[in-house]
Structures are given as structure tokens and as C-alpha cells.
Structure 1
């Protein structure tokens, strides 16, 4: 387990898997996990789990070394898969931020952008979430132990709401919700408690933002509010989706 620019939440998810890890502990050795132990064995590694975004010059060299030492590399969490909340700086003046926040910005070594791991090295699998779901994490580890593809669904949060029998907060209450365009994995936690989805798990494969944005406006969100709604946990991922051309529908043949 390797950490880059992040809050450590996804690493803590692994530590929360106490009961589940007992079942597979005999099949693996944790060689490097400084959140849990100061012991660190050198590579090569069969499976590297990487949390956090690339945000400093040192990160660039380090992630390349980890990739070279790892048979499989899996990124976990919004920071590692999409740059994280810190990627908001990609759309601002980093030098201005440094001068505002730090008394001596000359001591800070940083990149102008915060980027996902996949922007720099080959990644074998991406596990979404802020933080990730522990059940999905155990599934990924088990899949690589068994030499198979992880069984992580790529549908939207709306599917999870239907499975739980949760009433749609948008249809029933006019609550703005990113569930229709967000990757499932949280168990539809926010809609279950009457709140709209915040997009913690990033865009789903079926993302259709051009269709959702008018609904957000209908439910009282201004254009500025909509931008803030989308540009949080997975700012770069949703921005990439927004930049795509609208897709013609089969039924109507319109955009």
C-alpha cells in the first residue's frame, strides 16, 4: 500500500477490513504499508495498491519506481483515479495559492496540477470512491489473488437505489442528485437518507451529463451551483465527461 497526495481515508478502509482480511491473510504478505507498520520490505511486489494523486516532483519519480517494481498496480480512491479534491487547483493559479497560504512558499515543492496515477504510469485497475467501499476493496484483492478480473459493477447509483427500494429523491422531492451519472459503490448512501448523491465515486459508464444538467437547473440550481456540484471529489473526471460531444439517442436520433 503506497500513499501519495491524499487524506489516508482509503488506506484506513483497508484497516477496517479486519474480519474480511482474516479469511485471506494466509494467502498474502503485506510487504509495505506504513499506515499500519513501520516494517517495509523491498520489491518486487505482486500487487501494489496506490492511494493519492501525483502532486509533487518527487511523486513523479516515486510512482515510476513503484510501477517498475509491481506486477499489478491498482489505484484506489478519487485522488488516485481522478486527482481528488486537490485537483481543483488545476483550474486556478497555483503560485497565487502558495503565496496566500504559506509564509515561505519558496520552501514548497509542488506541481501546477494534481493528476491521477494513470496519467503517468500504466494502471491495471481503478477502484473508485471517496473513500472506497471496503467490500469492493476485498473483492479486488481476492480477484488478483485468484487471477481473475474484479467483479466491480460499472452502473450508476440509480441502480443501487432501485435495489434498495429507495424512493428517488429527484422525482419525489425535487432534490438535486448526481446519482444518474455517478459510479455505484457506496450502496446509495446519501439518497437512502434523503440527500442527493454528491458524485463521490466519479462518472459511471452510462454518464449522460447533457441530459442531467437541465434537471439540476429545474430543481433550483444555478449554473454556478451546478459547476460547484460537479467539481468536487472527481473534478477532473466530470470535467472530461462534460467536454465530450453529446450522443445521439437511438429512439429519437437527436442530441
Structure 2
């Protein structure tokens, strides 16, 4: 068996998740010794033809070209791993899903007739089968490295499906909601960040999206008790993972 090939792709996104991979630095050099990076335009102009053993895809589907490309990428990839809130939930650009794209374009662009975009921003999984998802805006570098190492070793990655609260407990952190009265989305947010914000006495703001079956209806009254207005509650859920949280019916 030859050296496994890795491809990294960008759709509609800010490049932040690809930069997380580049920021791995020493670990990335070690990883490069185990795989052949066949396509990663953020890092190299060298492009090798597929098929690819592992493809990492950043970004949501916001144009007809994105929709075409993701089918091509899926067909050329043995394993497809989507990375970041854009790829897993449509990203912050999915705010368009609740409005009129034509109206937005007429206000923002001087020549809106040249804008070619879809009416909605959707996750990759809405278009093709996905093997694994790494949440976050951006993704967590440790989770990324652990996932790549697991796939190269031929085993299933250990991706948690609990809330950020479980990570706070493992780190021995004091609950910021209980101790400080700080609004925090940790109880309904998917784990994976290592409880980064609560570790600095800040409330989680949900960049990893909702955990499986979040009980938002019971949780939202707790946010009200801690001083959040209805508008503030709407805004805190309408960020990186707006569509995913909306599907959870937090109202």
C-alpha cells in the first residue's frame, strides 16, 4: 500500500479552519511525513490528481459551483471530513436563509446583476454523504490532529457527542452560570473545544453548534433569569450555527 493522500478543499468560507491546520506547525511537519498532501492550495500550488484517501472540506454550499464541486470532491475521496461551522451547519452566511438574498444583494453590491448565488447557504451533508464532522468556528487543532491520526491508523476518530459542560467538569472548572451569573451556552453546545471560553471565565457562545437533542426550551428561561433580553437571546443563537440551532427549535 502506498502513502495515503490528503486533500484540503475550500468552498464558501473565511479560510480560518484551513489556517488551523497550518497553525499546527511542528505537528503538521510530522503529519506530512505520513501522508502525501496532494491538494492544499492554501499551502502549496502543487496539485496531484485523485482519487484521495482523505479529503478535508471547509465551507458551505452557497453557489451552484459549490454544489457542483462538492459532488466532484465526494466522488474522488475515500473519506470525506467536513471541517468548521460553515461546512457542518451552513455558517454565519446562513443568516441569508431567513431573508431575501436578492434584496441583500441590491443593498450591498453596486452591480447586483453580477452576483450569482443560491438563495440559501447549506452544510455539505445536505448535498453528499459525509464520513465525519469537525465542529467549530474555527475547528479545534487537537481534535483535527487526533482525527487525522486516527484515520491514518485505520480507526474511527473519537469525536465527543456531549455538551461543553462535560468538558468543564473534566477540567475542574467552576460553572460560570452558577458562580458568576454569566450567560453561557455550554449546556446546549456540542463539546470539542475543551471548554476554552469558560476556562477564561467567559460564557460559551455556541461556536461548535448544538449538541444532539439540546433541551433549549428548558435552557432559555435560565438565560432570561441571568438578565438576557429576548433580543439578546435571539442574537446569541443567530451566529455561526444559526440554522443548526434553529432546527433545534430554541423558541
Q: Provide the TM-score with structure 2 as the length reference.
A: 0.94
Give the match for residue 161 of structure 2: 154
Deviations along 1:151-185, one digit per CA (max 9) or x if unpaired, are 12121111111222221111112111100011112
**How many correspondences in the alignment?**
244
Give the match for residue 19 of structure 1: 26
Give the match for residue 10 of structure 2: 3
Residue in structure 2 matching 1:128, options 130, 135, 153: 135
RMSD: 1.3
Secondary structure, aligned partner of 2:38: coil
Q: Would you say 1:89 and 2:96 are equivalent positions?
A: yes
Q: Would you say 1:111 and 2:141 are equivalent positions?
A: no
Give the match for residue 41 of structure 1: 48
By how many angstroms is 1:187 displaced?
Answer: 1.6
CA contact (8 A) 2:71 2:128 kept: yes
CA distance in 2, matches of 1:155, 1:22: 31
CA distance in 2, matches of 1:86, 1:185: 22
Q: Would you say 1:65 and 2:72 are equivalent positions?
A: yes
CA distance in 2, matches of 1:57, 1:2: 16
Secondary structure, aligned partner of 2:53: strand
CA contact (8 A) 1:87 1:114 kept: yes
By how many angstroms is 1:139 displaced?
Answer: 1.1
CA distance in 2, matches of 1:20, 1:26: 10
Give the match for residue 205 of structure 2: 198
Structure 2 unaligned segments of length 5 or more: list them.
1-7
Structure 1 unaligned segments of length 5 or more: list them.
245-255
Q: Provide the TM-score with structure 1 as the length reference.
A: 0.92
By how many angstroms is 1:64 displaced?
Answer: 0.5
CA contact (8 A) 1:43 1:69 kept: yes
Give the match for residue 145 of structure 2: 138
By how many angstroms is 1:243 displaced?
Answer: 6.8
CA contact (8 A) 2:74 2:80 kept: yes
CA contact (8 A) 1:181 1:207 kept: yes
Give the match for residue 247 of structure 1: none
Deviations along 1:106-144, one digit per CA (max 9) or x if unpaired, are 111100000000000010001101100111001111111
By how many angstroms is 1:206 displaced?
Answer: 5.3
Give the match for residue 4 of structure 2: none
